[in-house]
Each structure stands twice: as C-alpha cells, then as structure tokens.
C-alpha cells in the first residue's frame, strides 16, 4: 500500500463495532495490527492500513458471505467522525457528496463512485464495496428521507452467491458487472437542501478533515499542501464572517517550511501561481455564500477580502461569465 493511502486516518469506531459484534474474538480481529482491544476506547482514528487488516480478520471470523452487508448497516453518521458530520451539515446534497468525494478519496460526477484500484484488495474487494455502498446509501437516505429517492447501485464484480441479499440490505436495485462501483442519483437532486445543514458544524468539520489529510497526503507535494492551506484559510473566513486579512505568500511559504523563492518556482513548474490558487479558493467560497440568502453580494465580497463590491463583481464575472447576482438567481 502506498504511504499516502496506508496512512489515511479512518475512524476507530469501525474496529470497536466489529469487536462488539464478535465478543471474545478480539485477538483474532486485531491479529497483525499491533493493536490491543484495551487501547481502542482511547483512539479516535487508526490508519487505513490497520483498518484493512481488521476487515480481513473480520471476514475470516464471520464465516458468512454477507457479513459486510450486515456490518455496513451498523455504520451510522457518527461512526464516520468529522467526515460524516461535514457531509450531513453541508448546505445541499451535491455539496455533501463533494465532501465525501474529496475526503474519502472517491470520485463524484453526477454519481458517487468508489475506486478500489488504489490497492490490490483481493478477496476483500467485494466486502469493501458492500460497506461503502451502505455508507453512501445511508447518507442519501438521511438527506432525502429513507427510500424517498430512487438510487441505483453499481458493482463492477460478477454477482456473488449472496447477490439476492443486496435488495434486503440496501433496498435499491443493484447492477453487477458494471463499469464502476458506486451509487447513481438523479442529477436534479444536486441542489437539494440538507435538512441538518449548520454552517458552523460544516466548516469546523471540513477544517478537521483538511488537517487530517494535510499530514498524510502528498507530504512532498507543495502544490497540494498549498491548496489545503488556502482552502482552510477561506473555510475559516466563511465560518467566522469577519472581513479577513488576505492570505499572504510569505505566510504560506513559512507554513510549508520552504523559502518564498522555492515555493514560487515549484508553483510555476506546475503551471500555477499563488495568486491563481488564491483566486480559485475565493471563487469556491463565493459560490457557497451566494447560495445563502442571508448575505448580500456586497457582504460576500467584503468577507472574501475584496476592497469594494466592484472588484468582487469583476473577479466573479471573469470566472463564471456572469455577475454574482445573476449566478445566485440561476442557482435558486
């Protein structure tokens, strides 16, 4: 497993639930992980590498083909830590799926897909897909209402022996031998408001997810680290609602422990610049805030650090081809 993928934090809740499911099998479930059952109550997260080993052990302990479908039903929102709270408290279903896509390393294009090619999972591939389908379906049900929306599940593998059990556990039609693993939703639901949206919870949870990724993903990639730093800065702006000081290039270089000259050179080699990266993050937050009727266009411009509303209007129109007021009306 690559260093980045193996070091990704996953909620320790998953392992605790497996230990509760099979009491007395703690040693078997934690085999080859270097963990002891007594230390798990004090852990909020474990690495993905350890979690995959736990799931392999659980598969051996279970001794039944539908164990992952059954286990996936136990994974409520609280089991996923900051990621689950960020998705549930997002303004819309589409933005909640974007959160899952960014921080769970999935890909969302009018659908939520699960990439199992990052690491050869072997016999663990189908159980992993089954658990991920349960997580995605539970999120959609929480936002839309259970079984209120027609979803189609896709599995790239052939139908297993327990294929008939999918309908009972997931309550949605499933396509096997599909081109991808994931969930397909009607595109019209992208803007559906999340009933549990809370801006403070959303921003705080996003910040925690970014901090976790920042420490393990692309540790030598200055562009990726710079993107995380800028995104966290503007997330905090959106949450606090105070006119900010613009993020400065020198502060970013210091945060990344490199000289401004080195950072400038590496950004240029990747075809970007600090100003362009900052503008992208400003624009993303602007689109988010325009979806919130509490804020006027002028207030949003001030939040994002534009000296006056005319500068904000020009910058926004350059990226979208329309002024922010028109963009807001179209989104509604």
DSSP string, 156-197: SSPP-TTTTHHHHHH-S-EESS-SSSEEE--GGGTTPBPTT-
DSSP string, 9-47: EEETHHHHHHHHHSTT-HHHHTTTTT--GGGGGG-SEEE
The answer, as to whether pTM is greater than 0.85, is no
Assign 108 a pLDDT band (cuts: 50, 70, 90). very low
Is the pLDDT at 67 greater than 60? The verdict is yes
**Lowest mean pLDDT, pick from 69-73, 293-297, 323-327:** 293-297
What pLDDT was estimated at residue 107? 44
The packing angle between helices 48-62 and 13-21, to 10°, is 20
Is the pLDDT at 3 greater than 50? The verdict is no
Residues 229 and 278: their CA atoms lie apart, in Å, by 10
Residues 71 and 3: their CA atoms lie apart, in Å, by 27
Q: Residues 6 or more apart from 180 whose CB is under 8 A from it? A: 111, 113, 114, 154, 156
Q: Residue 325's CB: how many other CB atoms inside 10 A? A: 13
Is residue 306 classed exposed, middle or buried when 0-12, 13-18 and 19+ CB atoms within 10 A define those classes?
Answer: buried
Assign 106 a pLDDT band (cuts: 50, 70, 90). very low
Mean pLDDT of the region 19-45: 88
Mean pLDDT of the region 94-117: 67
Mean pLDDT of the region 239-254: 74
What pLDDT was estimated at residue 77? 66
**Lowest mean pLDDT, pick from 60-69, 237-246, 281-290:** 237-246
Is the pLDDT at 226 greater than 60? The verdict is yes
Mean pLDDT of the region 39-53: 85
Q: Tell me: the pLDDT tens digits for 146-195?
A: 666 788 899 999 999 999 898 888 888 899 999 889 888 887 777 788 88
Evaluate the CA torsion angle 207, 213, 219, 222 in order and state its sign.
Answer: negative
Is the pLDDT at 285 greater than 90? The verdict is no
Domains of the chain listed by start with CATH number? 1-63 (no CATH), 76-197 (no CATH), 218-331 (1.10.10.60)
Helical H runs in the chain? Answer: 3-7, 13-21, 26-29, 48-62, 67-72, 81-88, 93-103, 125-144, 165-170, 199-216, 222-240, 249-255, 260-269, 274-290, 297-303, 309-320, 324-331
Mean pLDDT of the region 9-17: 86
């Amino acid at each position: 497993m690559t260093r980045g993928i193996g070091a990704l934090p996953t909620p320790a809740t998953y392992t605790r639930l497996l230990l509760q499911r099979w009491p007395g099998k703690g040693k078997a479930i934690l085999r080859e992980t270097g963990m002891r059952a007594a230390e798990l109550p004090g852990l909020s997260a474990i690495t993905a590498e350890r979690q995959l080993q736990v799931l392999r052990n659980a598969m051996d302990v279970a001794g039944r083909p539908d164990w992952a479908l059954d286990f996936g039903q136990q994974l409520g929102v609280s089991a996923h830590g900051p990621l689950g709270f960020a998705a549930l408290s997002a303004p819309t279903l589409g933005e909640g799926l974007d959160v899952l896509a960014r921080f769970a390393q999935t890909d969302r294009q009018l659908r939520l897909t699960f990439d199992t090619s990052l690491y050869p999972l072997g016999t663990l591939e189908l159980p992993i897909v089954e658990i991920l389908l349960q997580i995605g379906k539970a999120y959609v049900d929480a936002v839309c209402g259970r079984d209120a929306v027609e979803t189609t599940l896709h599995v790239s593998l052939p139908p297993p022996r327990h294929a008939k059990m999918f309908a009972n556990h997931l309550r949605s039609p499933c396509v096997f031998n599909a081109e991808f693993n994931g969930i397909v939703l009607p595109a019209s639901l992208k803007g559906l408001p999340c009933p549990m949206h809370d801006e403070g919870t959303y921003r705080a949870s996003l910040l925690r997810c970014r901090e976790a990724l920042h420490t393990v993903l692309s540790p030598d990639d200055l562009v990726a680290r710079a993107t995380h730093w800028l995104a966290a800065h503007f997330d905090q702006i959106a949450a606090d609602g105070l006119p900010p000081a613009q993020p400065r290039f020198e502060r970013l270089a210091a945060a990344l422990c490199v000289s401004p000259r080195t950072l400038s050179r590496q950004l240029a080699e990747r075809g970007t610049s600090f100003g362009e990266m900052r503008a992208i993050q400003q624009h993303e937050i602007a689109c988010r805030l325009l979806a919130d009727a509490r804020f006027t266009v002028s207030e949003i411009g001030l939040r994002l650090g534009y000296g006056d509303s005319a500068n904000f209007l020009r910058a926004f129109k350059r990226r979208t081809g329309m002024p922010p007021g028109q963009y807001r009306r179209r989104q509604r």
